[in-house]
Amino acid sequence: MTGESQAARRARLFDHDWDQIHADLAHRHAEAGNTSGVATLEAALAGYLATPGRPGVVNPVAGFLEAATEDVIAGMIDTGFDARRLSTAHLLLSSRNDVCAETRPFDDGSSLVVVSDSLLTLCAFYCRCAGLVLSGEDGLDAATIAGMLRYYHVQQRVHGLAGMLAFEVPGRAAELTSALVTQAARFVAGHELVHHALGHGSELSGFHPGEHLPVCSGDQLREYQADAGAHTALLRTCEKEAGDAQALALWGALAAVLAVYSSEKALFVRNGGTHPPALDRIRMLLAQVGESVRGRARMLLGPLLEATDAATVFAVRAELFDGDQVLASPFVSTPLTRGYLEQISLFDALMSHPHQKLVEGVERLDPATPRLAGGTRLAAAGRAAEAFESWGVDPEVGQRLLNPAIPLTFHSLRMAMKKAFTDLGVQKDSVLAASVVAATLLEPSLRTP
Ligand SMILES: [Zn+2]
């Protein structure tokens, strides 16, 4: 195929088999015991198949992101970015949860922009909260927001599933929400495209296959440039449409920044790149808008940040997920069984438990496999490499888990432990709990210092 850029070729090779992804998700829901999750997936799949999509785009979320990208590219060109340069970026929606969004530069000058669909799920959640408040509805308190976020994060950490509790908002708020979700997707794509347009990270050409070296690393100034460029382009795009352009552009950007902050804090043991502190990014965005928009944003941001901080701490002081409390909100309804919600609370408690108690629990869990408890004690003592050896973790896998340059999510750490414990012969019904405990104990020593 002549004329195909390296990024386009990589995108084609990575092109997802969405049927396979659905089958995998259904399997994980079933494994987690979430029967309504399986039903919801099947309904969503039927809906996808019935939706007239964009030509050549099978997944409607990918189609949505593609449209959002085209819009923000138009805004970028209007605000002075080079159209030719932008045409060499290739965008891909990914079902992988081990990256939020990243731009991979190639030697021929093209870039592959990868955006994870779970980041968009989280953006949509923050947009819904913003839509409710901006449309004048009250009744959504920080504790409910924190509870819903906590449900999402626990389910991601344990099962690798990106699911929100059904969160219905009334008419005007729903309209506003859908406009905001569009802005958030435009901002996410715009941020990455500014990295590409400005040639950020072009020196990072030597990444190895299967390793992620996100451009969002190191130089924080580049992150501010990417935020500022994306926000300006988004504002221009919004000005061409109906509605309060300043508020829409700002809230789209804020929702995206909050979603990245929330995932990085809750889901990653290490993230390859460090975004500047969310509060600094937010401050910079607020400085770009007028006083009235800024004042309203500050009022709404307070509870959202408070809830996000509460929902992303997994430690003894954490406020655990409480299904009854969240379901008491007039906006939340869910087909999930009480048993499933209780299971989420239990996993939450497990990941927030004092470490010594966790070790004692594992010692009782499977006395027939002494290497399980032995390794667990090493993990609790911060001796991760020895713990891996004791559990018989594949040395190559162990090296990757220990390598501070490779991003690592809590869920992939747990899955590696699950594999090791299964191979070790740990009783089948103890593997899930033991692997959650192992990942919890390992997390502090595997974090980037
Ligand atoms: Zn970035």
Residue range 401-418, pLDDT digits in tens = 999 888 899 999 999 999
In the chain, pLDDT over 70 holds for what percent of residues? 86
Q: Distance, CA 259 to ligand 1 centroid (Å)?
A: 13
Mean pLDDT of 212-217: 46
Q: Say if strands 89-94 and 111-116 run parallel, antiparallel, or are unpaired.
A: parallel
Ligand 1 centroid to 291 CA: how many Å?
A: 27
Find tokens 């109906």 and name the residue: 242
Residues with Cβ within 8 Å of residue 90, at least 6 apart in sequence: 5, 7, 8, 10, 11, 110, 111, 112, 113
CA of residue 59 to ligand 1 center, whole Å: 25
Q: Which residues sit opposite 116 in a β-bridge?
A: 94
How many angstroms does the Cα of residue 214 sit away from the middle of ligand 1? 8
Per-residue confidence (pLDDT) for residue 206, from 0 to 100: 35
**Rounded Cα gap, residues 255 and 195, in angstroms:** 20
Q: Measured between alpha carbons, how far is 287 from 295 in angstroms, rounded to an integer? A: 11
- pLDDT at residue 209, rounded to an integer: 33
Q: Measured in angstroms, how far is the CA atom of residue 199 from the centroid of ligand 1?
A: 12
Residue 359 CB neighbours (<10 A):
17
- What is the mean pLDDT of the segment spanning 20-28? 70
Distance 103 CA to ligand 1 centre (A): 8
Pull the structure tokens for residue 205.
Answer: 């050409």
Mean pLDDT of 104-129: 90
Mean pLDDT of 34-62: 62
pLDDT digits (tens, 9 = 90+) for 177-194: 999 999 999 999 999 999
Supply angle C-alpha 424, 430, 436, rounded to 5.
90
Residue 38 has pLDDT above 70, yes or no: no
Question: How far, in Å, is the centroid of ligand 1 from the Cα of 16?
Answer: 24
Ligand 1 centroid from CA 55, angstroms: 30
CA of 347 to the centre of ligand 1 (A): 32
Compare 389 and 36 and report the one with higher pLDDT: 389
How do the domains of the chain map onto residue ranges? 6-327, 353-446
Q: Which of 128, 191, 119, 195 minimizes the C-alpha distance to 162?
A: 119
Mean pLDDT of 248-262: 94
Ligand 1 centre and the CA of 5: distance in Å? 22
Distance of alpha carbon 94 from alpha carbon 66, whole angstroms? 13
Over residues 345-403, the pLDDT tens digits come to: 999 999 999 999 999 999 998 888 999 999 999 999 999 999 999 999 999 999 999 99
CA nearest neighbour of 259 among 412, 95, 149: 149
Ligand 1 mean position, distance from CA 321 (Å): 31
Give me ligand 1 centre to Cα 217, in Å: 7
Q: Residue 165: which region, alpha, beta or left (left: phi > 0; alpha: psi -120 to 50)?
A: beta
Please, which pLDDT band fits residue 210 given cuts at 50, 70 and 90?
very low
| Structural tokens at position 145 | 């927001």
Contact yes or no for 244/251 (Cβ under 8 A): no
Say if residues 23 and 95 touch (Cβ distance below 8 Å): no
Query: Is residue 339 classed exposed, middle or buried when 0-12, 13-18 and 19+ CB atoms within 10 A define those classes?
Result: exposed
Tell me how far the alpha carbon of residue 134 lies from the centroid of ligand 1, in angstroms.
Answer: 28
Ligand 1 centre from 172 Cα, in Å?
Answer: 33
Q: What's the one-letter identity of residue 246? A: Q
pLDDT of residue 211: 38
Q: Given a cut of 50, is residue 204 above it in pLDDT?
A: no
Count the helix, strand and coil residues of the chain and give each as a percent rounded to the nearest 5.
Answer: 65, 5, 30
Cα–Cα distance, 5 to 338 (Å, whole number): 51
